[in-house]
A and B are shown apart, each in its own frame.
Chain A
């Protein structure tokens, strides 16, 4: 048999039909649903008199437009409340399990899937959400789809898909102190460019990847889409199995042993070919921050913001100039020291327990700078409980940060948590697009360590001195 990539193995195992020289019909093992991208799909099913083919392979949660306070449905604005109510109605009518407001499993869709053990190696996973790539951390082929395709999957458990090409991201070396998976993925995206991964599935490989814990791997795969790649995968290993073991929806007993045997075969074979490859040295990286309005516009927190004149093509130069202008950032100088208004720690990129622990390390015994609003938003109810059990909430509140209920919150600013025009936020989320965190708001993406350090400093800050001071 020819040597195959991890991606190739998962893809091949899910082809239900193949159009000659055309797309495949791909079977979907797990379909995750949230309130924003599903209502029109359920409406389509209703209009056609269709049912959900596999409600047992479909799970819904509330995250995007849910207020991050107690009793969210009582305070949601009318349109958000209507959307959340519609999800309840749809899930009841079509028999889809829903982890809604008040459910102990509720949280951000890409946080709760892995946390509840729904995400398994070798699966195909889709969701009407581009950060579905997160689940690739388990060696699953996971990607975002539009609402029409949400309808297709609800009705048939399948979708029409064109086979992507493969791109190996080889990461050697080891991340230094204060440098995290978030910094690594920002460096990878900067190297590939905002569209550099278009048409590809990424496989993250190499010593630095193997050394990452499961939550860090999710941070990495989460942002694959920011380089244009719909999916990013990491081969499953003992770290993966250790994370999954005992989770509510993970296999148990003899089925677990059989599953692990199968999953061990999911690595890319020696000699398998990737269509493209890039190599990154993790040891050379510093904490990263974005200076522009795409996640690819990033640099080291202590390094100078690149001069647009040195950017590759005319397009890039124009984009960089436009971005600097929007961000009110000066080229040639480091971002460190630039005053911040808001710090947001949360989102499907960085709202897991290890992220909150990292932030707490910096917050402990310190105070958020005067005039800075700092929000810490756990990714799920389960993370919230675990963080509170460990006393992290008290660390945050003692420092003067807000400790909120789970949801997407200021990552997308649909739920009332939003920047006001002109405000600058250091955010652990994944998108610094114009106005993403609120109309007219400006976003600097960073790790939880950098975000926390910036909250304390009142300005964009390198977290390493704060860690050394301990």
Chain B
């Protein structure tokens, strides 16, 4: 698989206003009985799909590439299938006030950018997107900011900064493959094994 690359995405967003969304909800365990990464989009939020008002079922969700969710998104199981399923559905970034650690790493590895922004900005963004689902939201990894139009004037742009580990950011901007990076350290690993193991 080629290393994922990401600079910036501008697209419509879906609001999933729930805290502590765990990876069992993102993709229930019955969809993990697979040996490939194929077909996982079908499992995305499988048990929440079809519930009245579930945002991903709304017609406006079609073509959205950004998910806006609540605090501690992706908690629970380490299943990378959660990041795979979100990416397979078409998401390229998730915006939330905070993310669970393992999910954050899994997402970055897939080129699915976890953008953690301040709660106040997050609340504002949710309101804007709810009121106007066609709002174009930008997640810009180069400038480390989320941007959206927040008024009728052409220059009414709201911005919210987010942080991404600088090493992971460089990898994504340049399309560096993490396994390739580790494989190049072979001599140092061997030296370490000679001394310590």
Contact = CB atoms under 8 A, between A and B. Distances in A.
A146 to B, nearest CB: 4
B76 A433 contact: yes
Contacts of B106: 146, 148
Interface stretch (B32-40, B59-67, B148-156): B32-40
Given A64-B32, A79-B33, A228-B101, 18 more contacts: A16-B188, A22-B165, A40-B36, A40-B80, A82-B35, A130-B78, A146-B102, A156-B179, A157-B189, A158-B182, A195-B72, A198-B72, A294-B20, A294-B22, A315-B19, A319-B18, A414-B32, A435-B47
Nearest to A229: B101
Interface string B13-27: 000011110101100
A160 B167 contact: yes
Contact of A435 (B28, B166, B185, B189): B28
B139 interface: no
A21 B192 contact: no
Given A27-B197, A40-B36, A156 B28 contact: no
A19 B32 contact: no
A95 to B, nearest CB: 17
A151 to B, nearest CB: 6
A228 B75 CA distance: 7
Q: How large is the interface on A (under 10, 10 to 19, 20 to 34, 35 or more residues)?
A: 35 or more
A324 interface: no
A83 B105 contact: no
Given A23-B165, A158-B189, A80 B78 contact: no
A356 B134 CA distance: 56
A79 B77 contact: no
Given A37-B80, A147-B80, A230 B188 contact: no
Interface in B61-115: 70-72, 75-81, 83, 98-102, 105-106, 109-110
B174 interface: no
A151 B28 CA distance: 23
Given A16-B189, A25-B182, A148 B33 contact: no
Contacts of A25: 182, 185, 188
B29 interface: yes
